[in-house]
Structure 1
Amino acid sequence: MTATEPATLAPAAPSLFTGRFRALTVGTVTLVSLLAFESLAVTTAMPTVARSLDGLALYALAFGGPFASGVVGMVVSGIWSDARGPGTPTRHGVLWFVVGLLIAGSAQSMGWVAAGRIVQGFGSGLLSVALYVTVGRAYPEDLHRRIFAAFAAAWVVPSLVGPAIAGLIVQYVGWRWVFLAVPVLTVPAMLLIQPGLRRIDAPVSGPRTAPGTFRRIAWAFGAAVSAALLHYGGQQRGATAVVLLAVAVVGLGLCAPRLLPAGFLRLRRGLPTVIALRGLASAAFAGAEVFIPLLLSRERGLSPAAAGFALAAGALAWSAGSALQSRLTQPRLRAALPRVGMLCVAAGIGFVALTVSESVPVLIGIAGWGVAGAGMGMVYPTLSVLTLELSAPGEEGCNSSALQLGDSLFAATVLAFGGAMFAATTVPGAGTYLAGFAVAAGLALLGAVISGRVDPRSTT
């Protein structure tokens, strides 16, 4: 290779929108976008829902319930995808997702909204894992980075416009249509990907139900209950919060390792470290993000819209970072992405933390959050690709499930403790914000330290 050769940009590669991939790409990206939109839109609409149905007491369950059922859905989808291919869990995921939306949208009480959300969460869990397995089996390896970059972009638009659209729907049409409108697009997207799913849906040779399947599902239920308890405990105060969080952490400590790859706790090279790094990245980013709107609006006097702009900067930069990683082909540069990305996350959080001081311009924090978002864009799809590369045939579902489980559980744990920290403080001050940002930045730095272990062949 000479110094004049463009080593960092990919040569012409098959397009995601060529004939045999076009419908599958459009359908899967649409489904990811709808999952993102519904998640963000419901957050916007739920206060109105609770007031309309006099259901404030069940408000937390409407969020914690789908998170818990999603944990079970991820595990079931991984088992199902490995045994029969991703087609069946994808179809069931769409069915449960749509049914849950219809239940919530037609509910006459908050209890039925929460029930619909739990059904919807199970469907989302099924879908999220099955779509990863679909990528692994339907697309050649040189397109994996590009389709995951497309998935990242599919989250950006909903994160930018979803809350605003949901607010307009609630104000002018009614909150029910936040739930009822989404199935109109979900069903056509499912029909688009059906031919592609049929091509890859032949089961892998071996038993249809692997040994230990039912034990794994039982552990998933245990992890789901613990996760729900963690979510609820983070919203309590005093001794109650401490007890609930302790019980939840013990439950997760017992159940989660049995759902993750062997060697996870020891950070064994390869897939166990990939799963751990993804969890650390998610926890670091979510742990900082939750403080930003409160800091900017309460301490720096920004309007809610202006504070939301800071989060939008992170979302846009995430998409840009993801697009960048999809274009890199030189192995040395690809190998550096996890570490560079985690360092960007840590640095970005550090810049945001500076805005605790009124002498630091808010734009410094917004720019910093963009740096953190770009780092996540480098890390997330890279780890998704590595998970598929390190999975033996017939294990893509189990490993994709573990990847997303670690992602969710790490973030939930940090958010629960962050919420408990704020609940214990009558008037949050600079020290409270700095403590939260310090924990998030520390997790990102820990991720940078272990990132060299994601490649089982590496000796660094």
Structure 2
Amino acid sequence: MSGSDAVSIWDRERIWVTLGAVALIFLGAIEALAVTTVMPVVSAALDGAALYAVAFAGTLATSVIGMVVCGAWSDARGPRGPLYVAVALFIAGLLISGLAVSMGQFLVGRLVQGLGAGGQTVALYVVVARIYPPHLHGRIFAAFAAAWVVPAMIGPFLAGAVAEFLDWRWAFLGVAVLTLVAFIMVAVRLRALDLGGGEGRIAGLGRRLALAVVVACGAVAVGLAADAPPLAGWPIALIAVAVIGVAVVPLLPKGVLRAGHGLPSVILIRGLVAGAFFAAEAYIPYLLMAEFGFTPTWAGIALMLAAFAWAGCSALQGRYGEALGNRRIALISLTLLGVAFLSVLLTAVTAASPVVVIIGWGLGGGGMGLLYPRLTVLTLAYSTSGNAGFNSSALSISDATGSAVSVALAGLAVATLGGGSSSFPVVFAFAIALVLVSVVPGLRLGHGAEPD
């Protein structure tokens, strides 16, 4: 195996796959950063303040459906077909949102976009599992994270500037056009590669798909509860969360809810930290605009440090992750996230300098950058060629479900407290609580097929 040390993610055999996959991640990053920045503007333009949280949670919710379908499809017949369909749905969703004339139409686009985004993520993970050797997994996922660097530099600023000086619609339509160009290039390159297949049948897909639809509907219901009176909204939300909990368990490895050692804890912590980070992030631009008078452009710039830190720490993880060890990475990451949420909470309560928010959120981005790709590496380390799709979809389902439910609950809490910036501290306190719970699975990640 001495020759294995010479191969890389950029060698002749893999370079076009690497470039294509990184391009798709890059465009997904552009879109994610753009949505976070322009959503306050979209909400005002389409009179959709009550549905602000659903615009985030709905996309994450429907992504669960895409993950389940593409995970099973990839295990059975290889990831090429699922990837193509997922990218097409992603583009369609962007077009629908960008051309929307009402908040309802905009949400439809976001739901379609979620189907594509979720499926695309799982399909790309299976591509990595099938054509990259295990010792390159850390490097390829670091490259995926590095694909956030340029979006971090220009994405929030550009999206804010587009919304402020042109029209918010171009934050969606522009990404759709670029994704179409990248998709054509990727489709041509992947045609010549053998991505493998599976057993040729998709066992149990109907049941898993039905459960995924229940999870998605439950997450949307939690978000829509914010538009109901609090006395009705909270019971609706809590019932929906309970339904989600029952439906999501069969879509995940056994032992997730009790933080079982190894893969179950990997899956669990992914959902917890995703829920904490993205629920808080949805309200960072809102806080800066409402409390400190930031324009959309400057609110976008405020998110740049976190994106830089995410990409930089992901690169460090790719190079030094094995030396640090999974437990140490988890504890460092959770500490950084806790400090980030605490700094934002204190700023929201005291109206201190927005610089505290920007620096604190940068620490949070660093914590996510260390932990996120490591969890993906561990998931593949616990997988075989026959279940890489299921395990990858489980990781992504936990991510999306945790994010969707947390964002929706945060939106309901904000609406209950009046909807102004004075109600934002409850969101950041909620994020801190999720980080504290994450310590338990963080200590039980194990090593998979990696050396101890």
State the TM-score bracket (shorter-chain normalisation). Answer: 0.7 to 0.9
Unaligned stretches of 5+ residues in structure 2? none
Q: 1:184-263 alignment to 2 at 5 Å?
A: 184-194=177-187, 195-196=189-190, 198-204=192-198, 206-210=199-203, 212-263=204-255
Where 2:261 maps in the other structure, the secondary structure is coil
8 Å contact 1:234–1:420 — kept in the other structure? yes
Amino acid at match of 2:336: C
Shift of 1:375: 1.1
Q: For residue 265 of structure 1, what is the aligned residue in structure 2?
A: 257
Aligned equivalents of 2:337, 2:69: Cα separation in 1: 32
Where 1:355 maps in the other structure, the secondary structure is helix
Aligned equivalents of 1:177, 1:438: Cα separation in 2: 34
Q: 1:124-163 alignment to 2 at 5 Å?
A: 124-163=117-156
Amino acid at match of 2:234: V
Q: For residue 324 of structure 1, what is the aligned residue in structure 2?
A: 316
Change in Cα spacing, 1:454 to 1:111, as seen in structure 2 (3 Å) is same
Structure 2 residue 445 is the aligned partner of structure 1 residue 454: yes
Q: For residue 431 of structure 2, what is the aligned residue in structure 1?
A: 440
Shift of 1:324: 0.8
Amino acid at match of 1:254: V
Deviations, residues 226-272 of structure 1 (Å, cap 9, x unaligned): 01111212354411311320221122022111211111112111111
Where 2:13 maps in the other structure, the secondary structure is helix
Supply the RMSD in Å over aligned alpha carbons.
Answer: 3.3
Aligned equivalents of 1:225, 1:305: Cα separation in 2: 34
Q: Larger relative contact order (C-alpha < 8 A, sep ≥ 6)?
A: 2
Structure 2 residue 396 is the aligned partner of structure 1 residue 404: yes
Amino acid at match of 1:311: L
More deviation, 391-400/195-204:
195-204
TM-score (norm 2): 0.86
Q: For residue 5 of structure 1, what is the aligned residue in structure 2?
A: none
Aligned residues: 446
More deviation, 295-304/438-447:
295-304
Aligned residue among 12, 23, 26 for 1:19:
12
Deviations, residues 95-144 of structure 1 (Å, cap 9, x unaligned): 22233344455567665544444333222221111011111112222221
8 Å contact 2:287–2:348 — kept in the other structure? yes
More deviation, 147-156/291-300:
291-300
Q: For residue 381 of structure 2, what is the aligned residue in structure 1?
A: 389
Amino acid at match of 1:453: R
Q: For residue 6 of structure 1, what is the aligned residue in structure 2?
A: none
Aligned equivalents of 1:283, 1:385: Cα separation in 2: 20
Where 1:453 maps in the other structure, the secondary structure is coil
The structure number with the bigger radius of gyration is 1
Deviations, residues 170-190 of structure 1 (Å, cap 9, x unaligned): 566655544443343323423
Shift of 1:202: 2.3
Aligned equivalents of 1:132, 1:346: Cα separation in 2: 29
Aligned equivalents of 1:373, 1:29: Cα separation in 2: 19
Q: For residue 31 of structure 1, what is the aligned residue in structure 2?
A: 24
Aligned residue among 264, 277, 282 for 2:274:
282
Amino acid at match of 2:115: F
TM-score (norm 1): 0.85
Aligned equivalents of 2:91, 2:351: Cα separation in 1: 49
Shift of 1:199: 2.6
Aligned equivalents of 1:296, 1:112: Cα separation in 2: 27
Q: 1:340-359 alignment to 2 at 5 Å?
A: 340-356=332-348, 358=350
